[in-house]
Each structure stands twice: as C-alpha cells, then as structure tokens.
A and B are shown apart, each in its own frame.
Chain A
Amino acid sequence: MEQVYIAGTGMTRFGRHLDISMKEMSRGAVEAVLADASMSVDEIGAVFFSNSLAGLITGQECIRGEVMLYPLGFGTVPIYNVENACASGGNAVHLAWLAVASGMCETALALGVEKANHVDKTRTFSAYRSGTDIDAMFAVGEGAGTDRTPLVDRQAALAKMLIDERGMTVEALAKIAEKAYAYGALNPMAHRQEGHSIEAILGSRLVVDPITTLMSSPVSDGSAAVIVSRRKRSGTNVRIAGSSMASRPKKGQSHPTSAEAASQKSLAMAGVSVADVNVAEVHDASVAYEVIAWRETGLCQPGNEYDWAMSGHTALGGKLPINPSGGLVSRGHALGASGVAQIHELVSQLRGISGARQVHQPRVALAQIGGGVIDWQTSVSSVHVLVRDEAW
C-alpha cells in the first residue's frame, strides 16, 4: 500500500447558518483546503462527499456531491456520495485514504458538508431520527424526535451507566463540558465560542436527566475538507498511519464495539499503542459519549474516568489532551463535516499551528467518530491514527 500524506485541510466556521446554502459552505471548505495544499481543482483524482441530512432538510437526496461541486469547476473526476450518520466525515476520510493507499489515484479530497438547521426545528429532530433503525426504534421518552433528537435519550442512559458503574458524577460530566467550552472559546471555527461555567452547564435546560443542553453538542451547519496524497507537501508532513471502520457487533454481543474494533485495528496498522497517543479528537455528541469514547478507543481504563475528568488529565497541559478543538460540544456538530473537522484539528496540532490551543509537541494523534444507533449500540465507527515523523 502507498504511504498517504495529508496535503491540506480546511473548514468553515460551524454554526446555525440558516442563511448560508450548502453550495456556499462547500465552496468555503474547498477553497480553504486547496489553498492550504497549494493545489488546484485539477489535481484532485477523486472526491468523497459526506453529508447526512440534506435529503431530509433541503430535499437534495440524490447526487449531493455532484450538485455541490459542479459550481466549483470539478470536471470528470469521480464524486462518491458518502453517508453514515455522525460518522459520515470519518467515513469519507477513510475512503479518500483507501483511494490513495490502493493506488487508485494520487490525490483525493474528502469533503464534509452539513446543513442540519431548518426554520422548522421538528424537521431537524425528525431527520436525526433516521440515524436509528426506524422500524425498531429504541426505547425513548415522550418528545423524542419532536422537541429533541431521540439520540439524547441514549446519551442519558449512557450517562447513568457511567455514574452507576464507573464512578462518574454529574459534576464531572459538567467539568468535561466546561473544558470543551474553554477550548471552543479559543477556536475561531467553533460554533459555541462564548464559554460556559460548570454552574451554567448544570443550570442549563435538562433535556433528558442528567443531560443538559450545554452537555450536548449543538445542531450545527458547516463544512470541512481534507486532501490526502501520495505526494509529500512542502514543510511539515502528517501521514495517515492507520485508518479503519467497523460496525456494531452481532446481535446479543456487546464487545468489541465498533469503536473498540476500529481503534484496535487502526493502532495496529499504525504500529503504535495507546500509550503513544499524544492528542485525540473523539466523538462527544454529548459529554457522556466523550467518556465512553475514552474507554472504547482504549485510551482510558474503565474506572479511571472520574479521575481523568477531575484531574485535568485530558486538558491542554494534561497527560493526554482530548478534544482541544472544543469537540462536538463546543466546536459544534455538523454531522457530515464533524469527522473531517476532527482531522483538520489534529493536523493543525501535529503541524504546531494551533496557537493558544496547541498541545505540546504531539507526534501521534487519534481521531474517533461514531454514527447511528442500532439496538442500543453505535452502529458504525471510524478511527484514524495520524503521525508526524519529523522531529519537533
């Protein structure tokens, strides 16, 4: 297999962008990534376009990528439409990696764009519902899918499990959210940049006990893009050392989860262990998910979650900074773009250009994102391991 380098990354600010079209968001991320890679459209050999909800929000169900990229001057290059709920972006990066690693093309673009907000909020919440098996909806409380995304009900169940079985507390969950907002406040691309105290997080509206609005990611619109290539870029290079996806285990089995399987595979592919990881971006659709991800990626042993939350273990300057972008909770969660935005953040960290959010000289970074729920488990996860070979 070919060595795959990240030639460039770029994104637009996540937010509630009712007045910005998907085409405009696509243009923003593509222009940013081409500029970062010093490339032109003509150098792209394949495009993997990730989006989850356009069909349900705007009605553009078919040929989404082709429609968004046509105005940007992409010619006969193949455009693959990728959908895997919240994991769509990770899926697109994985396929772009595969296209280059396999030798199919020299350079590929992963572009994630999401426009999830709609003037009619129930349309958005109802669209999120398709991230589950709609024939076998998991048990949710009244109002799921109309006044909230039904996935919050699972987040709340996971939060209760963390409290009952791992020793977490509601305050520790709020502390993780506080950290997310502190870094989001330093990230000009973040949806929520205003920062929130633990008191404000605990005092915000309770969505499903114990999850409050400020413990959950917002519904974001936005775009992110990554160009991968066999060719090294000038300056510091970051390569994709491990890339994989995995699905939910068979019915009746609980392990390995999709995130456990993908993480083990990507780390093995990269030839590194969890102890080598210096910075990570993990899926925090809510802070409960973040804590679950610590464990499922193998970074944290079960039972250490409370200590990690309270001791600053995952903060900048801690032993393993996690979600320095602010994560989905603060940077925002634009479904099709979130997994790509994680790569954008980690590449910036590995290149050393993250400014006030810079982790101290990282060499190995891990990105994990999950998508959808089938029978109470995340239905798909992707994990990427990025490595900077050059000395600091």
Chain B
Amino acid sequence: MTLRRFEGKVAVVLGGGADGPSRERGKIPMGNGRAIAMRLASEGARVVVVDRRLDLAKLTVDNLQGEAHAVEADLANIEDCTRIVESSLDKYGRVDVVIANAAVSSSMSAVQQTVEDWEFSNDVNVRGHWLVAQKALPQMIERGAGSFVFVGSTAGQLSSGRSLAYEATKAAQLAVMRHIAVRFGSKGIRSNAVVLGVIDSALVRREFGDSEEALAARSEIGPMRRQGRPEEVAGAAAFLASDDASYVNGHSLIVDGGVSAQWPSPRKG
C-alpha cells in the first residue's frame, strides 16, 4: 500500500537540494534534505524546496513525484529566513510541515574554535531554523495544526570531541525543537527531531572523506556495520511529520543504526 499521509498539506524543506555521493545511472545524488522532500512529495505533499543553491533545489523539484516549488535562500541571512515562509504562503497559502534541515560543520576543538565559525554555525544551525519557525508558527497556530521535524545530529547529544561549534549548535537546535513542542503543544503544534548518526551524504563525505578506507572505517563504527542512507532518514522524518506520530511531541528519534546504543566493553584478556 502506498502511503499518502501528506495529501493536501504543504511542506517546507530547508536544505531540500542536499545531494550526496553519485548513484547508479539514472538516479540523482541523494542527501537528507532531498530524500525527505522526495518522500513527502511521494506521499502527497506540495513541497517548497529551499536551498542555498537554486540549481540543487530545482534538481530536487524536477525529480520528485508531485507538485513542488524551488526557493533560493541562505539560512545565514536573516531576510532570506523570513522570506521562506512568505514565499510558501504566496504560492500555496499555508505551511503544514517544516523540515528544519540545513547545517554547516567545521572541525575545531575548544582550543582552536574561532568566533567567526562559532557565529556562522549558530546562524545556520540554530538561528535560521528558529527564524523560519517564527514565521511558520502563527499561521499553524491559527489553524490549530502544524508539525516541525528538526534534522539533528548525535553530535548534539554526545561528543566525538571533533567540533565544538557543531556540537554546541546541534544541541541548541534540539533545545529549539523542545521549546516549540512544549510552548505550542496546546495549540496543536508538534515538534520533533531525527537525530542522525553517520549517514552517507555529501556533507559527511566532505567532512570525513570519500576514499574506500574512509567509507569502510565509517561502516565499522556501528553494530549494523554500514552507514545510513538518506532514504532511511526520510522514512523517520516522514513518520514524525505525519499524523502517524500524532502523540509524539518533543522527541528526539535517534537514527544512527545503533551506534549510540553501544557501550565500549572491556574484553577478557
């Protein structure tokens, strides 16, 4: 049975042009935002695909099944953030679902961290998501319904010791998610997060490399012995966004193949 959980609904997907490693012939490269946009569209949503790069957003729009609209916007830019919801309201008259997926990452420790990178990470990973939510909330509250899915990271809950700004801002992003869930739950608004482990996306390949060795090393870290796929993120995000999750609110759904379930146990000598 094909699910049509978003029939009649409008979804804004930030970072909806996100691509990833090249795929077999005939399939476009897939990142988390793109996979989510395509999944929501396939379930009947009209999708506003937002990306810093319009060509990538358009590639998503051209390849999804259903009605969609590409918007060029940079989450680091305050005016762009406020314009996103307006463009959706102009085009479709409403916003039912916001997928807060867009992030930048660096790799500086607390000693190396620069103020510029700290602020840029905060602008995109936290402030941009809040600003979009600020514009989307009033019309959701007015209708008494709306759903946010923040695309978070296990780095917001656990530290790999790799990037201070990324870890701090991804933790703050989850705080924004919980605030909306708590403050506006009585208005029919739900807010949740998918908390991602190692997913084989363009961002992860940029940060951790795409050599055979790097891919193999990433596969080895979890009990499932493979990386996650953006389509698997999309399945979890679509669940949280949909009425199937109608009593799920303020939740961080970990999508990491069990990596964070592990405890490094000492071996018998």
Contacts and interface: CB of A to CB of B under 8 A. Distances in A.
Interface of A: 165-167, 254-255, 295, 301-304
A181 B66 CA distance: 51
A-B pairs, top 3 by smallest CB distance, nearest first, are A303-B138, A302-B138, A302-B139
Nearest to A162: B138
Task: Give the most central of B136, B137, B144: most A CB within 10 Å.
Answer: B137
A303 B134 CA distance: 8
B86 A301 contact: yes
A198 B189 CA distance: 35
Contacts of A295: 142
A303 B131 CA distance: 11
A226 B251 CA distance: 59
A301 B137 contact: no
Contacts of B89: 301
Nearest to A302: B138
B129 to A, nearest CB: 16
B135 A165 contact: no
Task: Give the most central of A255, A302, A303: most B CB within 10 Å.
Answer: A303
Contacts of A255: 142-143
A295 B141 CA distance: 13
A234 B137 CA distance: 50
The secondary-structure label for the interface of chain B is: helix
A165 B138 CA distance: 6
Contacts of B53: none
Task: Give the most central of B85, B137, B141, B142: most A CB within 10 Å.
Answer: B142
B86 A165 contact: no
Interface in B127-161: 134-139, 141-144
B98 to A, nearest CB: 13
Contacts of A303: 85, 134-139
B226 interface: no
Nearest to B136: A303
Nearest to B85: A303
Nearest to B144: A254
Given A301-B139, A303-B134, A303-B135, A165 B187 contact: yes
A301 B93 CA distance: 10
Contacts of A166: 138
B260 to A, nearest CB: 36
19 contacts: A165-B137, A165-B138, A165-B141, A165-B142, A166-B138, A167-B134, A254-B144, A255-B142, A295-B142, A301-B86, A301-B89, A301-B139, A302-B139, A302-B141, A302-B142, A303-B134, A303-B136, A303-B137, A303-B139
B179 to A, nearest CB: 14
Contacts of A167: 134, 138
B82 to A, nearest CB: 8
A301 B134 CA distance: 13
Contacts of B85: 303
A183 to B, nearest CB: 27
A236 B169 CA distance: 61
A191 to B, nearest CB: 33
Nearest to A254: B144
Interface string B73-112: 0000000000001100100000000000000000000000
Interface in B32-91: 85-86, 89
Contacts of B138: 165-167, 301-303
